[in-house]
């Protein structure tokens, strides 16, 4: 048997994030005798101009916490390497670490950079060490405010000319990362984030079981899935839910995800007097169970690339109330209502209460026909990884 093709995915980490989840959905569908995924992540546990190879027995080195997908990656034959976190001031040591890594590891057929903030640094170096195909993959359609966002914009300059192939999850993401010119010239391939649709399909029995477990059988259950940071706009979400509580005494809110802003949001719930009606559920492997339990899904983000959670919510047949800053390319059904986050929270509350009267349905066919099923997409990616042919994507 010949050695499998190795594809290196470059990310910030392998925690429970949107890009990470979509890549893992894809990896589960691959014939791993033919194609293996490896991961190059970034960590403060790695110092100076070096890189690390994280083997299983070294997971707790330097007080590093194991990330969500690490065990599964290794179980599927993937390897995990790490660079130091990029801090701008460590530009030269970061570049040295990237150079050391690709000098030692140039066995990859494809290097796919999902972390575009530094892709203009690591992709050219990968190419210099003989990597046949380099890919810059735009996964988001905005940056954080302040110095970090400014730095991201600066280091992305010219990225469209520094990779062999350009992918983006949506037109908004492609334009934000690669620029209007690259989009107008047709140099960017739009590949919508696909999911394992069958995993999320609505099932009345599973819904009742999940609601019983959560003790919300007689409640109006609202839900959100996302990390606690600026982009996801949790402060506004909580204001909206407080307004819903004024209209529906039976309303509860499920929040899945984690992040640095979570303690502040827990405190904000207490200030708004809704703490006993909000369930902070953390990162979960079984997100599909919670979609079943929900009645309405909320996504008031400031910006998104193409949010996989919105695709998942539609696959679960959920009514979705979504910020109008989110790309319409995420719409696969008629279940989405688009509202501005400049509206008063009461306007969102009115729409939520109205939409809660809909009849839940099976949307598997709609999602699959719209191109959001990972099984179909995986075969096209396999052709790209093996033959360099992206025409099917």
Inform me whether the pLDDT recorded for 101 exceeds 70.
Answer: yes
**CB contact at 8 A, 359 and 319:** no
Q: For residue 389, what pLDDT is reported? A: 87
Query: How do 165-168 and 278-282 pair as beta strands?
Result: unpaired
Per-residue confidence at 153, pLDDT binned at 50, 70, 90? very high
Does the fold of domain 197-369 match that of domain 5-194+373-387?
yes
Q: For residue 355, what pLDDT is reported? A: 97
Q: For residue 57, what pLDDT is reported? A: 44
Q: For residue 63, what pLDDT is reported? A: 55
Nearest Cα residue to 89 out of 120, 55, 48: 48
- Mean confidence (pLDDT) of the chain: 95
**CB contact at 8 A, 189 and 158:** no
Distance CA 303, CA 323 (A): 9
The pLDDT tens digits of the residues spanning 231-288 come to 999 999 999 999 999 999 999 999 999 999 999 999 999 999 999 999 999 999 899 9
CATH of 197-369 given 1.10.10.10, 3.90.1150.110, 3.40.50.2300, 3.40.50.2000:
3.40.50.2000
Mean pLDDT, to the nearest integer, of 199-213? 98
| CATH architecture assigned to 5-194+373-387 | 3-Layer(aba) Sandwich (3.40)
> Where do the structural domains in the chain lie, given as residue ranges?
5-194+373-387, 197-369
Inform me whether the pLDDT recorded for 380 exceeds 50.
Answer: yes
Which of 330 and 1 is assigned the larger pLDDT? 330
**CB contact at 8 A, 199 and 218:** no
Q: At what angle do helices 119-128 and 91-104 cross, to 10 degrees?
A: 30
| Residues near 184 by beta carbon (within 8 Å), at least 6 away in sequence | none
Q: Residue 130 in 3-state DSSP?
A: coil
Place of tokens 């949001």: 265
Q: Which of 54-58, 70-74, 128-132, 180-184 has the lowest mean pLDDT?
A: 54-58
Q: For residue 287, what pLDDT is reported? A: 96
Show the tokens assigned to 374.
């990972």
Q: At what angle do helices 345-355 and 234-247 cross, to 10 degrees?
A: 60
Q: For residue 55, what pLDDT is reported? A: 67
Q: Percent of the chain at pLDDT above 90?
A: 90
Q: How many CB atoms lie within 10 A of CB 107?
A: 12
**CB contact at 8 A, 317 and 291:** no
Inform me whether the pLDDT recorded for 31 exceeds 90.
Answer: yes
Inform me whether the pLDDT recorded for 61 exceeds 70.
Answer: no
Show the tokens assigned to 340.
């501005």
Distance CA 18, CA 358 (A): 28
**Half-sphere CA count of 95, side-chain side, radius 13 A:** 10
Mean pLDDT, to the nearest integer, of 312-322? 98
Q: For residue 318, what pLDDT is reported? A: 98
Distance CA 224, CA 233 (A): 11
Describe the chain by its helix, strand, coil percentages, rounded to 5.
45, 20, 40
Q: For residue 112, what pLDDT is reported? A: 98
């Amino acid at each position: 048997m010949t050695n499998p093709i190795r594809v290196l995915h470059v990310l910030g980490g392998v925690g429970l994030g949107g890009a990470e989840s979509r890549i893992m959905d894809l990896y589960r569908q691959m014939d791993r005798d033919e194609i293996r995924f490896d991961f190059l992540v970034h960590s403060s546990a790695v110092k100076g101009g070096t890189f690390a190879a994280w083997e299983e027995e070294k997971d707790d080195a330097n007080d590093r916490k194991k990330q969500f997908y690490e065990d599964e990656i290794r179980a599927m034959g993937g390897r995990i390497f790490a660079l130091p976190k990029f801090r701008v001031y460590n530009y030269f040591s970061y570049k040295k670490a990237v150079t050391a890594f690709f000098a030692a590891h140039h066995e990859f057929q494809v290097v796919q950079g999902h972390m575009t903030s530094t892709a203009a640094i690591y992709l050219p170096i990968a190419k210099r060490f003989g990597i046949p195909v380099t890919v810059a993959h735009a996964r988001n359609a905005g940056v954080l405010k302040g110095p970090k966002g400014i730095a991201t914009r600066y280091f992305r300059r010219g990225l469209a000319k520094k990779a062999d192939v350009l992918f983006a999850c949506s037109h908004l993401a492609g334009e934000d990362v690669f620029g209007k010119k690259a989009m107008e010239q047709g140099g960017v391939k739009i590949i919508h984030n696909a999911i394992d649709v069958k995993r999320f399909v609505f099932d009345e029995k599973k819904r009742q079981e999940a609601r019983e477990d959560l003790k919300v059988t007689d409640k109006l259950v609202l839900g959100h899935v996302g990390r606690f940071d600026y982009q996801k706009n949790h402060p506004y979400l909580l204001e909206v839910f407080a307004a819903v509580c004024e209209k529906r005494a039976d309303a509860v809110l499920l929040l899945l995800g984690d992040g640095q802003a979570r303690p502040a949001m827990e405190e904000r719930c207490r200030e708004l007097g809704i703490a006993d009606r909000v369930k902070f559920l953390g990162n979960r492997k079984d997100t599909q169970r919670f979609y079943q339990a929900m009645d309405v899904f909320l996504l008031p983000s400031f910006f998104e690339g193409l949010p996989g959670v919105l695709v998942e919510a539609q696959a679960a047949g959920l009514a979705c109330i979504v910020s109008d800053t989110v790309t319409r390319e995420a719409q696969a059904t008629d279940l989405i209502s688009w509202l501005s986050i400049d509206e008063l929270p009461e306007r969102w509350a009115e729409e939520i209460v109205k939409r809660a009267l809909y009849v839940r349905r099976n949307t598997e066919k709609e999602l699959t026909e719209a191109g959001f099923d990972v099984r179909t997409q995986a075969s096209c990616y396999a052709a790209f990884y093996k033959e360099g042919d992206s025409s099917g994507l």
